[in-house]
């Protein structure tokens, strides 16, 4: 039903909030007797029933069965999130857990996003989502080559959006540190700030010419550069704690859990939504709101991580529409504030790529 545009009275707000708080806690329909006995609403049961009927007529409540109490509608949850939800004070233990896990030195934003989503999932018991939005016109602004030994070096790629990628390069022939230094200089001279489309065959041939008898390095390195640019441009959604969904009775029905899992599988819609978001505030998508149309009975809450006006990623939580929004909002605020502090403290810089030296991929170059 469509909501009545008139302002809700204080009593209706009190009753609506009490119903949503109770439904969040146990997932059951809420009746007037329960509200009168447990919520200390100073009204008779009949008055509460009348108010509940009006809230239902206005579209804020639904009655799943004729004899049952009411449950919140999507509109009711939306009003609750926008106007009624109370501030959740995180415990010292929760804040300490966030600080401990996120302040571990990590060179790549991808790992921080995934770790943050796992922390959020653990603290709230909902499914965590790490979102790396699509980027446009991302290029590599600087290359570094860190010599390890005669058969191994690390290629460090610093992207124009601030992200750092490291790739372990294993060779089949010996090279010296002078060769890897020359490679970095050559890449910076000819490829710095070029898009993938701008790295043309003549440029690649010039790179091979300048590398002389080590020209065989160029072809596999170019492939790695293309792959990294694709990773940076394409966006990514990673999920943790999917099994937590099964703890909620809403998803005991196979059709309903299938609907929510469809939201996760529908990666493109979520990436489109986050990538087009230009703000840095918390976003709450309830049920069929937004572009993710398969989220019936579910909610997605996410907050972008922004540095220098650019959205680097987002942390989100996915769960039933009756989420504990107060705790979810506070948790995401705390985590993203922590990450922002790390970003502004230059934690995610190329200078710390060495922390990942032993954790990069096994990319082979050479003959």
Q: What is the pLDDT, as a whole number, of residue 367?
A: 43
Does 362 reside within a domain? no
Rounded CA separation 131/108 (Å): 14
Q: Is 230 helix (H, G, I), strand (E, B) or coil?
A: helix
Residue 311 forms beta bridges with which residues?
306
Which structural domain, as residue segments, surrounds residue 45? 10-84
Ranges of the chain with pLDDT below 70: 1-6, 39-40, 66-67, 103-108, 135-137, 233-234, 259, 262-263, 266, 276-278, 290-294, 345-367
Instruction: Write the DSSP string, 170-218.
Output: EESS---HHHHHHHHHHHHHHHTT--GGG--HHHHHHHHHHHGGGGGGH
CATH number of the domain where residue 340 is located: 3.30.450.40
Does 366 reside within a domain? no
pTM for the structure as a whole: 0.67
Q: What is the pLDDT, as a whole number, of residue 294?
A: 56
64 and 154 part of one domain: no
47 and 123 part of one domain: no
Please list, in sequence order, all residues whose beta carbon lies within 8 angstroms of the beta carbon of residue 357, skipping any fewer than 6 positions away. 146, 148, 154, 166, 168
Does 335 reside within a domain? yes
245 and 298 part of one domain: yes
Rounded CA separation 1/56 (Å): 9
Q: What is the pLDDT, as a whole number, of residue 2?
A: 43
316 and 258 part of one domain: yes
- Domain boundary (194, 210, 234) is at 234
Tell me how crowded residue 363 is: count the other CB atoms within 10 A of its CB. Answer: 16
- 323 in Cβ contact with 125 (< 8 Å): no
Q: What is the pLDDT, as a whole number, of residue 135?
A: 66
196 and 307 part of one domain: no
- 121 in Cβ contact with 309 (< 8 Å): no
Does 164 reside within a domain? yes
- Domain boundary (202, 234, 266) is at 234
280 and 148 part of one domain: no
279 and 327 part of one domain: yes
Does 170 reside within a domain? yes
Total number of domains in the chain: 3
Q: What is the pLDDT, as a whole number, of residue 91?
A: 86
110 and 157 part of one domain: no
Q: What is the pLDDT, as a whole number, of residue 212?
A: 93
Length of the chain: 367
CATH number of the domain where residue 34 is located: 1.10.10.10
Rounding to the nearest 10 degrees, give the CA dihedral for residues 346, 316, 125, 268. -130
- 347 in Cβ contact with 104 (< 8 Å): no
Please list, in sequence order, all residues whose beta carbon lies within 8 angstroms of the beta carbon of residue 52, skipping any fewer than 6 positions away. 15, 19, 32, 61, 70
Does 360 reside within a domain? no
168 and 229 part of one domain: yes
Interval 224-266: pLDDT, tens: 998 888 777 667 888 888 889 888 888 877 777 776 776 677 6
121 and 239 part of one domain: yes
CATH number of the domain where residue 216 is located: 3.30.390
244 and 263 part of one domain: yes
207 and 264 part of one domain: no
- Domain boundary (234, 261, 293) is at 234
Q: What is the pLDDT, as a whole number, of residue 353?
A: 35
């Amino acid at each position: 039903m469509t909501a009545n545009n008139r302002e809700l009275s204080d009593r209706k707000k009190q009753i609506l909030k009490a119903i949503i708080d109770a439904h969040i806690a146990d997932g059951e329909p809420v009746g007037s007797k329960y509200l009168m006995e447990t919520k200390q609403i100073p009204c008779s049961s009949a008055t509460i029933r009348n108010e509940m009927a009006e809230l239902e007529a206005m579209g804020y409540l639904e009655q799943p069965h004729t004899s049952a109490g009411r449950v919140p509608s999507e509109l009711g949850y939306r009003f609750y999130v926008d106007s009624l939800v109370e501030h959740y004070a995180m415990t010292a233990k929760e804040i300490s857990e966030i600080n401990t896990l996120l302040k571990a030195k990590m060179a790549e934003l991808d790992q921080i996003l995934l770790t943050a989503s796992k922390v959020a999932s653990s603290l709230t018991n909902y499914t965590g989502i790490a979102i790396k939005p699509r980027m446009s016109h991302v290029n590599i602004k600087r290359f570094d080559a860190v010599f390890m030994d005669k058969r191994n070096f690390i290629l460090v790629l610093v992207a124009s959006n601030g992200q750092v990628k490291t790739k372990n390069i294993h060779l089949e022939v010996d090279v010296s540190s002078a060769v890897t230094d020359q490679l970095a200089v050559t890449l910076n001279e000819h490829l710095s700030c070029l898009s993938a489309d701008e790295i043309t065959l003549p440029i690649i041939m010039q790179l091979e010419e300048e590398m002389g008898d080590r020209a065989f390095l160029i072809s596999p390195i170019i492939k790695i550069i293309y792959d990294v640019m694709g990773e940076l441009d394409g966006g990514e959604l990673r999920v943790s704690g999917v099994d937590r969904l099964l703890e909620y009775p809403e998803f005991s029905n196979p059709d309903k859990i299938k609907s929510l899992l469809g939201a996760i599988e529908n990666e493109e819609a979520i990436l489109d939504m986050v990538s087009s978001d230009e703000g840095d505030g918390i976003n709450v998508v309830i049920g069929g709101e937004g572009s993710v149309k398969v989220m019936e009975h579910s909610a997605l809450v996410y907050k972008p991580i922004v540095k220098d006006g650019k959205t680097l990623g987002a942390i989100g939580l996915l769960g039933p529409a009756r989420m504990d929004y107060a705790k979810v909002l506070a948790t995401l605020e705390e985590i993203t504030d922590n990450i922002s502090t790390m970003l502004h403290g230059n934690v995610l810089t190329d200078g710390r790529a060495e922390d990942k030296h032993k954790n990069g991929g096994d990319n082979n170059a050479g003959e």
